[in-house]
Chains A and B, each alone.
Chain A
Amino acid sequence: DGGITQSPKYLFRKEGQNVTLSCEQNLNHDAMYWYRQDPGQGLRLIYYSQIVNDFQKGDIAEGYSVSREKKESFPLTVTSAQKNPTAFYLCASSIEGFPGNTIYFGEGSWLTVV
């Protein structure tokens, strides 16, 4: 079954902890993205990667880190430096090379600070 798989669906983080959200795709897409969704603010880009072993900061990268060691995987780590991490996190992917290519999304992960 092709698609983008995010895990876990729900994650609770204690103050001062780092947590990692998983994103795997079997669509053979070159590009992968992480977005954060807060109520009333739409989606904001955290990091994106257009090719393996390379990634760029998006608009709100502070307090987050990523890696792209494999084409199909793009994990996001929310570090303790992220002061307000409670949000819905969406991973996405697309074929690279043309701005008209559609970006497809996973089902999202909820992160809550407790």
Chain B
Amino acid sequence: AQSVAQPEDQVNVAEGNPLTVKCTYSVSGNPYLFWYVQYPNRGLQFLLKYITGDNLVKGSYGFEAEFNKSQTSFHLKKPSALVSDSALYFCAVRDGSSNTGKLIFGQGTTLQVKP
């Protein structure tokens, strides 16, 4: 069965510093990996995804993520954090061997960027 783990409930960084939000996954087939951001009382906004090819994926708002097959990880990164990046971040995976299209989410990580 496919699963996603976000080991940190909360990540705290100072504005201007680099940030990393961690994600590991487990699937039977090829992984299709996604990151979403959620602001309070809002829906999820798509940030970026990995399908195939280059292991470093660039997305919206200056975010990027690195796919590491051997470590089954897909960590979200940003070189310089902004206070406005403070939000709830979700990693999600779809199993390429499944025909159901189900997207499985991690528990979410709250990012707090302090001025």
Chains A and B come from one and the same complex: yes
CB-CB under 8 A from A72, the residues of chain B are none
Size of interface on B: residues with Cβ below 8 Å to A: 27
Size of interface on A: residues with Cβ below 8 Å to B: 29
The answer to whether the Cβ of B20 comes within 8 Å of any Cβ in the partner chain is no
Q: Are A105 and B101 in contact (CB under 8 A)?
A: no
CB-CB under 8 A from B36, the residues of chain A are 105
Contact with B along A89-114 (1 / 0, CB 8 A): 01010101001101111111010000
Contact with A along B44-76 (1 / 0, CB 8 A): 111001011000000000000000000000000
- Give the docked Cα–Cα distance between A99 and B61 (Å): 24
**Total A-B pairs in contact (CB under 8 Å)?**
62
The answer to whether the Cβ of B98 comes within 8 Å of any Cβ in the partner chain is yes
- Give the docked Cα–Cα distance between A51 and B40 (Å): 31
- Give the docked Cα–Cα distance between A49 and B26 (Å): 24
Q: Are A100 and B49 in contact (CB under 8 A)?
A: yes
Given A48-B100, A100-B49, A100-B51: A43 in contact with B105 (beta carbons within 8 A): yes
**Which of A4, A33, A96, A100 has the most chain B CB atoms closer than 10 A to its own CB?**
A100
Given A31-B101, A42-B107: A99 in contact with B46 (beta carbons within 8 A): no
Q: Are B101 and A94 in contact (CB under 8 A)?
A: yes
Given A48-B102, A56-B100: A90 in contact with B90 (beta carbons within 8 A): no
Q: Are B95 and A105 in contact (CB under 8 A)?
A: no
Q: Are A102 and B49 in contact (CB under 8 A)?
A: yes
5 nearest A-B pairs in the assembled complex, by CB-CB distance: A100-B51, A105-B43, A105-B44, A43-B105, A99-B94
In the complex, 12 of the A-B residue pairs with CB atoms within 8 angstroms, ordered by the A residue number, are: A4-B43, A42-B105, A42-B107, A43-B90, A50-B100, A50-B101, A56-B100, A99-B95, A103-B103, A105-B44, A107-B42, A110-B41
